[in-house]
Amino acid sequence: MDAHPSRKKKRLPAVAVLLALLATLLGAGWTAFAPAARAASLTEVTGFGTNPGNLRMFRYVPDGLPTGRPLVVALHGCTQSAAAFDTETGWTTWADRWGFALLLPQQQSGNNLNSCFNWFESADIGRGSGEALSVKQMTDRMKSDLGSDPSRVHATGLSAGAAMTNVMLAAYPDVFASGAPVAGLPYACATSVAAAYGCMSPGTDLSPAAWGDKVRAAYPGYAGPWPAVSVWQGTRDTTVVPANMTETVEQWTHVHGADTTPDTSDTVAGHPHAVYRDSAGRPVVETYSITGMGHGQPVDPGTGAEQCGVAGAYILDVDLCAAYRIGQFWGLDDSGTPPPPGGGTKTVVLPSRAADDGYVKASATGAGPAAGPLEGTYGVAVGRGADGLHNRALLSFDTSSVPDGATVKRAFLTVAYGSGSGDPWASGNRMVLDVRSGCFGAGCATAADDWSAAASVSGVAEIGRFASGTQTSADFTTVNDTGTTQVRLRLASAPTTTAYVFLKSGASATLTVQWE
């Protein structure tokens, strides 16, 4: 592609349309917001390659940074600059504390009247051309100059910079290990100014496969690992509407071969947080939906262990530092002087693993156990069936998301009624829970040996009587923080007549774990 600025200036009539569009992209009044740069901290670098996108390169490198450290590429929003996106967002705080280099590409008004990265221009979002290649060349220069760890290069950005973050992850998955778009848009959502309007609001609704195909087409034939992605969005963002977070999740989960149902859901500082895992159990996509926040970057100004940032226009104080949480997701907090673990109680709600759920039938004495045949039709059974055999249900949960060594304060099981006959709780009978840290039988899938396999704790909690809706067990604390936790539900006494309940499995059965 022609690297001369005049090539860009020929596009100005089209880009002029963006005076309204992309002023909107970061809001009216953004132009006036230009915090002063820390002169001794931010340095411009020239001569980083052919620079076909005609961008400028700035970097922040902590004093004495050794080789082999990570690199973070941070892309500003419209009418911003590198100097308005370093300390304000908190990234320099963690660069100093955790020990990594910070690259801040900067757009020029000759390319775009509002200094927005051209996330909607085909010539700028493909591998090997335009602004995407310029950012990649800057990244190469950083790795060459500083000896950055090539396996720990990450990208993040706000709004137009977030859309450009998705560009870098799609075009250069061999360069970036992970990314974090904040108030952004899916890769290749628009390839023209006109289409950009619709992408921003009301959003573009495609299937996960269609979104995934756009990413795969950015680097045809690529067979390596795809970047993990942390997606951030304000629930009251009317500029880049929340639908874009949904579409971005669909895009990246499909690329990773994961589904669009969260594997874990919890809250962080009062804001919903979800994690999506691939078939190997690796967290490949996470989301933060910032309740009540408009268009901007979440910060939490202060000097606390998890605080960062300087509030201003579209740098929004929501008591949550996005840079801190993103850095944790990327694993940046493994060196330097990391802050201590956050205080307070953390919560995760885990759906049962349907593939391993089931029930086992046996006589009242446990003779002749066999896996129940109706799990796929009715759910998992507990109690005495019409055939005179007694049923024990197995529910399996992936609890590896609980941090190793965490102190579990409470855990409880929630189950949903499917169908039943008689009253399993009659005459004071109790439905009790046995819990196994790991799997009851020889394997995790339900099998005959689950009937009598030893539990880590037996009868540790109960499920009270119910005949519709859901019911929650009493609390317990036995949870395996390295893998699977299984729960076996049984009646404490064998009924003498038909009395059973079918419970729904999979996403309808959940294990809630709280820890400190």
Active site residues: 159
Question: What beta strand segments (E) does 227-345 contain?
Answer: 228-234, 264-268, 271-277, 283-290, 297-299, 315-317
- For CA atoms 392, 395, 400, 403, the dihedral sign is negative
H/E segment holding residue 183? none
Name the helix (H) or strand (E) containing 21. helix 18-26
Distant-in-sequence, close-in-space partners of 61: CB < 8 Å, separation ≥ 6: 43, 101, 102, 146
Please state, as a whole number, how many other Cβ atoms lie within 10 Å of the Cβ of residue 253: 23
Neighbouring residues of 194: CB distance < 8 A, sequence distance ≥ 6? none
Of the CA atoms within 13 Å of residue 175, those in its CB half-sphere come to: 26
Q: Characterize the bridge pairing of strands 346-351 and 358-362.
A: unpaired
Cβ-count burial of 121 within 10 angstroms (0-12 exposed, 13-18 middle, 19+ buried)?
A: buried
Contact call for residues 370 and 392 (beta carbons, < 8 A):
no
Pairing, β 370-371 against β 408-421: unpaired
Nearest to 393 by CA among 245, 514, 277, 508: 508
In three-state secondary structure terms, 143 is helix
- What single-letter amino acid sits at 396? S
Closest CA to 265 of 506, 505, 510, 471: 510
Residue for token pair 């009395």 = 499
